[in-house]
Amino acid sequence: MQKGFTLIELMIVVAIIGILAAIAIPAYQDYITRGQVSEAVSLGGGLKSPLAEYGADKNAWPTLLVGPTAPAATSQLNATLTGKYSTVTNTVGGTYPTGTVTVQMTTGKASSATANTLTYTTQNGGSSWACGNTTVDGVTGTGTTIESKYLPNACKP
């Protein structure tokens, strides 16, 4: 009497593991990409309050956003602009009270040549910001090109 598994039983186990891997690997890659995009959301979201405060005080957007350790001139604002996977552009688009903050994905799956931009948009001086292409308090965001499956729920249209 022999003990152990037959070749057919082992092949069935290998086939099951292969099927599970074929499903799990793409799902895991999407999960990793969503994590990378969340860095861009954090970088852009961190600018909302300082920009709203600056705009309310000066009735204009800063001319330039500079890194946190660089000295800022009177029309500039210190901010964290670079992460591991994304970078905030160093200017605010638009004329106060309308403005747009743009974050570019620089590495990772969401940094493709055509779909790598996340925007925060305001039309009321920073009182409310629309992340991505959503509508918040009558403000509709535009310009986000990252696939919606990688965006957090707050930024999905």
pLDDT over 70 percentage in the chain: 100
* Alpha carbon distance 10, 30 (integer Å): 31
Location of structure tokens 């800063």 = 62
pLDDT given for residue 106 in this prediction? 92
Q: 1 lies in a domain? A: no
The predicted model gives 98-105 an average pLDDT of 93
pLDDT given for residue 13 in this prediction? 96
pLDDT given for residue 3 in this prediction? 82
pLDDT given for residue 88 in this prediction? 92
Q: 31 lies in a domain? A: yes
CATH code: domain of residue 77: 3.30.700.10
Q: 81 lies in a domain? A: yes
For residue 125 the two structure tokens come to 């001086």
pLDDT at 100 over 80: yes
pLDDT given for residue 67 in this prediction? 83
Q: 2 lies in a domain? A: no
Q: 111 lies in a domain? A: yes
Which residue type is seen at 150? Y
The pairing of strands 86-88 and 76-78 is: unpaired
Q: 110 lies in a domain? A: yes
Burial class (CB in 10 A: 0-12, 13-18, 19+), 4: exposed
* Alpha carbon distance 139, 33 (integer Å): 27
The pLDDT tens digits of the residues spanning 29-83 come to 999 999 999 999 999 999 999 999 999 999 999 988 888 888 888 888 888 889 9
Number of domains in the chain: 1
Strand partners, 135: 140
Q: 21 lies in a domain? A: yes
The predicted model gives 145-149 an average pLDDT of 91
Q: 122 lies in a domain? A: yes
Q: Which range marks the domain in which residue 94 is found? A: 7-155
The predicted model gives 151-157 an average pLDDT of 87
